[in-house]
Amino acid sequence: MKVLAFDFGASSGRAILGEYTGKNLKLQEIHRFSNDPVMINQVFYWDILRLFHEIKQGIQKCVKAGHSDISSISIDTWGVDFGLLDEYGNLLENPIHYRDARFDDIMEKTFAKCSQNEIYEKTGIQFLKFNTIFQLDWLKQNRPEMLEKTSVMLMIPDLLSYFLTGVKNAEYTIASTTQLVNAESGNWDYDIINKLGINPKIFPEIIKTGSLKGKLLPDIAEELGIDQVDIIACASHDTASAVVSAPLLKSENADDSVCSAYISCGTWSLLGAELSKPFINEDSFSHNFTNEGGYSDTIRFLKNISGLWLLQETRKHWNSQGENISFKDIDKMLETAVSANVYIDPDYPDFVSPGNIPQKINDFLKKTGQKTLTDKGQLALCILESLAMTYKYYILSMEKILGKTVETVHLIGGGVQDRNLCQFTANSTQKKVVAGPIEATAIGNIAVQLISKNAFEDMTQARQKLGDLEIFTSQNNEMWDKKYSEFLKYKNIK
């Protein structure tokens, strides 16, 4: 059985063919492309029509490669962002990028309508200034005519699926990232929506993960030379798909006092545990942990942390200055770089927006009385060491909140390719780190399609079909304990 997964990240996308032989799952990259947001008149947009074009290119390449016999297609993307359709089904404007500056001062204005406590108690979702709830409230306060023209709001993967099928609905895991879904019922929380003064009719039906979203439209099928294949609602939030592929086997969680943690690491790092029901209390609220929807009625209890965005933007800045530095070049720098023993908080607000990250890092170091950096290798080392210690910080927080001990950390996603990050994570947390799979999100996307097609019985069987995994154990514990003590001085600097 063959299925096609489209996996969109914040900086790139890919079409991955999954072929299940009955024994093994084989992956083949069919199409890879960049995802380049566009700044127009100081507004940061996603180039959604170009991304839809890349979907059609991926399907066409799949057909040309001899795989017109795929059974289904599914799409996963980042969370929180959305498109608005008018009464005729037309897109009102390109979706706004979550890093747009418009959301900097919105949260307190929203809390004046509906309290922070009430929002968290009902949704269990952590507070980030770009969450859908705040984006919609910004429109309500600043561009109400946009919402007046809106017939339906569709999250990005639901929007792209709508372009393929003409069907408007919302897949559960991506809907949960809006901070407008009730954690207990799994449906839209209309009490919050009404308090914000947003028309509840714009919110589409929420469908179960693994459901059929629709079939490929006849004109698109004809254009691309393929049958009207099923479009499946995978766990369409990319982290939810990644967690499907994490090898969190039940045998590891037999003792209720221990659990496994996962870190889905790419542009963002999502650190958490898989739970059977929401965990919402004062501790989870004060530590700003989230309860997002997962596949098979699970909850992704996690913390959203800045990830390799800092290194990606650093490289981007270097290259904008006339350099030609690859990630392999950075790895080579790290072979000889000596740690300056200076640290940043990767979640520092100034690091969220694009720009000259090396300068922003040195501004942080100067502000906190630390040595500034000019050596590129030391700068990269500062980022990776600080990120690894941030992982430790939130694992300790999660252990305290849940009353469980994390024994194993599963590092999944593109960040697994950075062996330094894998080793630093083991060194910092002093726990066993299991690295892999790399293409975690695409594999999770494919797995849900195969489950929906009855090729896999369930998620447990799917997780047993993973590729090679690598284990990292801690080194130099005493030195890393000292690093962590120093790092704590600079965490949560305002």
> Taken in order 150, 152, 155, 156, is the CA torsion positive or negative?
negative
Region of 211 (left: φ > 0; alpha: ψ -120 to 50; beta: rest) is: beta
Q: List the Cα angle 55/59/64 in 5-degree steps.
A: 145
Bridge partners of residue 434, in order along the sequence: 410, 471
Q: Which entry of 7, 76, 100, 238 is annotated as an active-site residue?
A: 238
Q: Are strands 206-207 and 12-20 parallel, antiparallel or unpaired?
A: unpaired
**Torsion angle (degrees, nearest 10) of CA 10, 13, 17, 20:** -10
Exposure pattern of 137-169 as b/e (b: 16+ CB <10 Å)?
bbbbeeeeeebeebbbbbbbbbbbbbbbbebbb
Phi, psi values for residue 168, rounded to 5°: -110, 110
User: Exposed, middle or buried, 405 (CB in 10 Å: 0-12/13-18/19+)?
Assistant: exposed
User: What Cα–Cα distance (Å) separates residue 190 from each residue in 116, 123, 150, 173, 186?
Assistant: 16, 11, 17, 18, 12
Phi, psi values for residue 228, rounded to 5°: -75, 75
C-beta separation of 435 from 418 below 8 A: no
**Cα 436 → chain centroid:** 16
Phi, psi values for residue 310, rounded to 5°: -65, -40
3-state secondary structure of 118: helix
Closest by Cα among 241, 210, 222 to 59 = 222
Look up 7 and say whether it is catalytic: no
| Amino acid, res. 176 | S
**Rg (the chain; Cα; Å):** 22
Q: Which active-site residues does the annotation give?
A: 238
